[in-house]
Structure 1
Amino acid sequence: MKKVKITILKTMLYEGLAKEYGICGLKACSMMKESDVFYADYAKPKGFCNEAWKALYQYVFALAHGADKGLFYYGDWIKEPGVTIVSCNDGLRPVIMKLEATDEDAKIEYTTVER
């Protein structure tokens, strides 16, 4: 299993929808910042948004397990192998992310319980 690089490309706010449905003063996501970089494998990276992770973990899993060999969805979506562009599921203020397969091996960190 390999690590996957996650780069925050863009944080957005759909102002019309936010005005109609969001709380007063709603702004773009404050948790993720453009150009932030995270590395993931089997688990959500520390400091990464829980909701964003739910939206992209299946792509991370696929890339971590070798989907970098071909193009996603039969080549009719992303032109570069080992790359995908995804967004979180916040309909008012989505965050757009680039996922890239890496050659870095993932390491499962075990914790021990003292008895």
Structure 2
Amino acid sequence: MANLDLTLKDMMAVDGAVGAAVVDYDSGMALGHLGGSKALDLQVAAAGNTEVVRAKIRTMEQLRIKEDIEDILISLSTQYHVIRPVSGRKGKGLFLYLALDRGRANLALARHRLRDIEENIEV
């Protein structure tokens, strides 16, 4: 089981990572974050992406879709932003947020790595 610091370090080890956060989507607060920049404020990203997660969960409930969200992808011209809700008991109510440099990242490998990280998170 990985603790919060190790989880964040593992996320930042993904090729092309520019910022990572573990976020509580009930409160919108980042429990921890690494990376970021003036252009990528991870506290603001955590709060904003909480609304994305809440909206998707609400929509799925309205549509009566009984599946788990694997991840939510936001693609920008120079970045990928990957949101992965934590599905295990130990991380329920959390999501992983990873911002990637689109020119350096392999999206498929990043999603695969996030899945592995999510399976081992312990907060």
Q: TM-score, normalised by structure 2?
A: 0.33
Structure with higher RCO (Cα < 8 A, 6+ apart)? 1
Q: TM-score, normalised by structure 1?
A: 0.35
